[in-house]
Amino acid sequence: MHRAAGWVLRGVRNPPKTRSRSGTARSPPRGLVYGQHGEPSAVVQLKDLEEAKLGGSDVHVKMLAAPINPADINVIQGTWRTRGVFPEEMLLKVPRDIPVLCAATLSVNPCTAFRMLSDFESLAPGDSIIQNAANSGVGQAVIQIAKASGIKTINVVRDRPDLPKLVETLMALGADHVITEEMLRKPEMKDLFKSIPKPRLALNCVGGKSTTEMLRHLQPKGTMVTYGGMAKQPVMVPVSAFIFRDVRLRGFWMTQWRKDHAQDPAALTSMMDSLCQLIRRGQLTAPACTEVPLQDYQAALEAAMKPFISSKQILLL
Ligand SMILES: NC(=O)c1ccc[n+]([C@@H]2O[C@H](COP(=O)([O-])OP(=O)(O)OC[C@H]3O[C@@H](n4cnc5c(N)ncnc54)[C@H](OP(=O)(O)O)[C@@H]3O)[C@@H](O)[C@H]2O)c1
């Protein structure tokens, strides 16, 4: 089985030269493929690929450029495995008393939530924050870490048939308010701000309308941190938000934070200690999840790509 940048290829051979519409000979498509996990520069090879047959509404696309993202590198290196050998300095000890699902999900989402709540605004108990995709893994960690610090959360989610159930789940985690994206535009938002101050911090993982509407509720001089783009739409900011409210737009990427703090291991240890303390005290739990035996990985991969799942797929290795 060969794999190439998100596509699984059933075989690689040298197909004969084909002809384009104009009748000129066309070289076979080429791609970077790998047949086993390992260091990308060692296992990835440039190969001729089978020419796909055109049918129905298929479109033949010529690719011009493609980025190599960190997530692509991780997939080629092999991330989901039962055992592996790593340099000691790459590893961080997780205390034995941390439940395995918390440990498995600790290093990305809770760390991202922790940093975004700490590094952009100095929030005091009673302050509020607003976030979209609040039912995501990061969002659930934000709710819990904020609650443990006395910070109020306004949590925006997409509408869905089982909304009351989702609201109940997020409230049980410690959410102060759970609203839909549509609600952000309604005058009733004024009522909400009678009992809670306007947020100083907005956490954006969506983009598009959801973000523009969320930004309207940010305090003057408040900060919006973008860390994801689930809607695959750009962030649109009304000019008035800059001129009359002087909002700050920032971004966050956990991988970059780790690189920036590579020479400061105490910063990572201190964050992990704080998160483990919250877990021990029952203030930070693993995200809502579905435990899947490794051999059922295909079902888990399919579920992980579906909308409105509200459950992190965890492979049991
Ligand atoms: N910058 C960083 O360092 C960093 C770190 C961790 C994660 N992230 C990013 O943060 C995002 C969330 O990660 P996660 O692991 O927490 O994800 P997750 O648990 O899988 O949750 C995905 C979330 O995205 C929402 N969503 C999906 N499509 C959407 C759309 N079109 N419009 C609005 N919401 C949509 C889902 O809501 P529904 O229930 O409505 O489908 C769900 O809340 C990802 O984009 C990830 O890459 C970034």
Ligand 1 atom with minimal separation from the 304 CA: 20
Pocket test for ligand 1, best of 115, 184, 205 (most atoms within 8 A of CB): 205
Ligand 1 atom with minimal separation from the 158 CA: 40
> How far is the centre of ligand 1, averaged over its atoms, from the C-alpha of 230 (Å)?
6
Instruction: Specify the residue with its C-alpha closest to ligand 1, atom 2.
Output: 253
Torsion of CA 92, 97, 99, 104, to 10 degrees: 0
* CATH 3.40.50.720 placement within the chain: 102-256
Ligand 1 atom with minimal separation from the 231 CA: 31
Per-residue pLDDT tens digits for 63-91: 887 777 667 777 888 888 888 888 888 78
Comparing 90-99, 121-130, 234-243, the range with the smallest average pLDDT is 90-99
> How far is the centre of ligand 1, averaged over its atoms, from the C-alpha of 19 (Å)?
43
In this prediction, residue 6 carries a pLDDT of 38
Question: For the chain, how many residues are written?
Answer: 317
> How far is the centre of ligand 1, averaged over its atoms, from the C-alpha of 141 (Å)?
12
Instruction: Specify the residue with its C-alpha closest to ligand 1, atom 23.
Output: 136
**Closest listed residue to residue 222, CA positions, set 246, 194, 191:** 246
In this prediction, residue 16 carries a pLDDT of 46
Q: Partners of 155 in the beta sheet?
A: 131, 178
19 has a pLDDT exceeding 70: no
31 has a pLDDT exceeding 50: yes
Ligand 1 binding pocket, CB closer than 6 Å: 108-109, 112, 133, 135-138, 158, 205-206, 210, 227-228, 230-231, 252-254, 307-308, 310, 312
Type and span of the H or E element at 95: none
Sorting pLDDT into bands at 50, 70 and 90, what band is 290? very high
115 has a pLDDT exceeding 80: yes
17 has a pLDDT exceeding 60: no
- Helix residue ranges per DSSP H, the chain: 40-43, 70-77, 100-104, 109-119, 137-148, 163-173, 189-192, 208-215, 239-243, 254-260, 265-280, 297-304
Sorting pLDDT into bands at 50, 70 and 90, what band is 39? confident
What CATH class has 2-77? alpha beta
Pocket test for ligand 1, best of 138, 213, 260 (most atoms within 8 A of CB): 138
Interstrand relation of 18-19 and 25-26 (parallel, antiparallel or unpaired): antiparallel
Q: Which CATH superfamily is domain 102-256 in?
A: NAD(P)-binding Rossmann-like Domain (3.40.50.720)
> How far is the centre of ligand 1, averaged over its atoms, from the C-alpha of 210 (Å)?
13
In this prediction, residue 88 carries a pLDDT of 86
* CATH 3.90.180.10 placement within the chain: 2-77
For residues 241-249, average pLDDT: 98
> How far is the centre of ligand 1, averaged over its atoms, from the C-alpha of 85 (Å)?
30
In this prediction, residue 15 carries a pLDDT of 43
> How far is the centre of ligand 1, averaged over its atoms, from the C-alpha of 94 (Å)?
25
Sorting pLDDT into bands at 50, 70 and 90, what band is 21? low
> How far is the centre of ligand 1, averaged over its atoms, from the C-alpha of 204 (Å)?
10
Q: What is the rounded distance in angstroms from the CA atom of residue 162 to the CA atom of residue 160?
A: 6
Select, from the ranges 89-93, 241-245, 288-292, 303-307, the one with the highest average predicted confidence (pLDDT). 241-245
